Amino acid sequence: MVRILLAVFSLHSVINAIVLISTTKPYRNFVLRIPIRQGQQVTVSTATRVSFH
């Protein structure tokens, strides 16, 4: 029983991501337009500006 729960909990976020990408058009379009070629590196950059007043 513990192994089944561990398997379910470990796959939970992966399943959520697959469902999100497959059911929402903006995410699906984003994933499908990224060209993946052999030997090509894909870098993702996130810029965050946080200011406290």
Structure confidence by residue, pLDDT tens digits, 2-50: 998 888 888 888 888 888 888 888 888 887 776 666 666 656 555 555 5
Task: Give domain limits for the chain.
Answer: 2-32
Cβ–Cβ < 8 Å for 12, 20 = no
Q: Given a cut of 70, is residue 52 above it in pLDDT?
A: no
The Cα 15–Cα 27 span in angstroms is 15
The Cα 20–Cα 8 span in angstroms is 18
